[in-house]
Amino acid sequence: MRTRLDIVFLYLRENRSGFNALAGALESSGLEGVEVLLAEDENSLMETVRSSLEKGRRTVIGLSFFTCQSGRFAGLIARLRGRFSGKALILAGGPHPSGAPDEVLAMGADAVVKGEGEAVLTGLARDILDGKRPGSGIISGQAGQGLDAFPPFSLRWRMFGYIEITRGCPFLCSYCQTPRLFGARQRHRSLENIFSLAARMRAEGLRDIRFLSPDAFAYGSENGRAPVPEKLEALLKGTREAVGADGKIFFGTFPSEVRPEHVDRDTLSLTRRYAANKRLVIGAQSGSPRMLEAIKRGHTVEDVYRAVGLAAGAGFETDVDFIFGLPGETETDAELTLKVIADLTGMGARIHAHTFMPLPQTAFAGKVPAPLSARTEKALRTICSRGQAFGQWEKQRLISGG
């Protein structure tokens, strides 16, 4: 009898995008005998794995998580190991396992995928179906693969979400994992592939198209440091044709924020013409010139003011990201950021507030968050109470100890 394989994903809201891509890779591989099963909480996960094993299936438990979730997942992995050790393969991947694979192995995972997982998971599934012993320990993902190689969603398992159009980031910000996970050279999905994916989603009755990118306005740029309006228009116009008159494109908003220096009249005009969103998400991170240089952001405070002003003039509302408690941040730096925030909210912007959390393999890995002063905390709570700011900054502060 041919081996049957169940791959059970813990399909939490925060972690679905990566699982959609993994399921798409499995579907596109043409492997027979593989089934993807989704569990939306721990109880469902335990029951699904138990049922799979009772049916005599080979079983892989797929987990993906961020650093802010690592405490929760450490407990979950221990419970999975206590119940299914030696019966099901516990496979972990995603941002935190990629950045701290030894730590996640110590939690009890059988194997950790470091980096991009599409080729790893399809190869592992093929080995299991062929009767081979699956790999264990740290498994390095294929670096630098072209995005056209795998679709970002699965028709077979009805796992739809964002269309990833770009991987990698050239800016190497000190706090950010993106270039460490995916490289400093941007890789763009081809226009033809994007249009085909959008048309397939439209054929399935899905009318809203959202793109995944570290910087939407850099799509098509060779170095990722300047927009190429011709490429952006080709992307947006072609996607609009693929989704039809009743389809909607969301661009420059979650989950594809934009850098402030890339907000200009061309990028705003194109977004206004083709996209449905009336809000842009702009990454500022600090209002202190000293801190922007320290974290290697590559833009100025003046770029942030200019972006918000231009966006407002073009009819867009804005959410602007700021991180408090960055390593080395002084009370003076925080005061400068609060001044910028007051100015931006006066211009109609809304603030997305974060507290710094050290992420593995970044330049700030292991750094201690700078303490937030009582004045900074009070100011943040005040603007949140007014509806001018939002975010998980208090929860992040508790997790990171800042």
Separation between Cα atoms, residue 25 and residue 119, nearest integer Å: 8
Q: What is the pLDDT of residues 78-108, one digit of tens each?
A: 999 999 999 999 999 999 999 999 999 999 9
Separation between Cα atoms, residue 343 and residue 90, nearest integer Å: 49
Separation between Cα atoms, residue 269 and residue 232, nearest integer Å: 11
5-140 and 155-400: identical CATH topology: no
CATH of 5-140, one of 3.40.50.2300, 3.40.50.300, 3.10.105.10, 1.10.760.10: 3.40.50.2300
Beta bridge partner(s), residue 90: 61
The DSSP result for 80-136, as a single string, is HHHHHTTTSEEEEESHHHHH-HHHHHHHT-SEEEES--HHHHHHHHHHHHTTPPPP-
- Spell out the SS3 assignment of 235-300: HHHHHHHHHCCCCEEECCCCCCCECHHHCCHHHHHHHHHHCCCCEEEEEEECCCHHHHHHCCCCCC
Tell me the domain boundaries of the chain.
5-140, 155-400
Supply the pTM of this predicted model: 0.94
What mean pLDDT do residues 211-235 have?
97
pLDDT of residue 2: 66
Say which CATH class 155-400 falls into.
alpha beta
Q: What is the pLDDT of residues 108-147, one digit of tens each?
A: 999 999 999 999 999 999 999 999 988 889 999 877 889 9
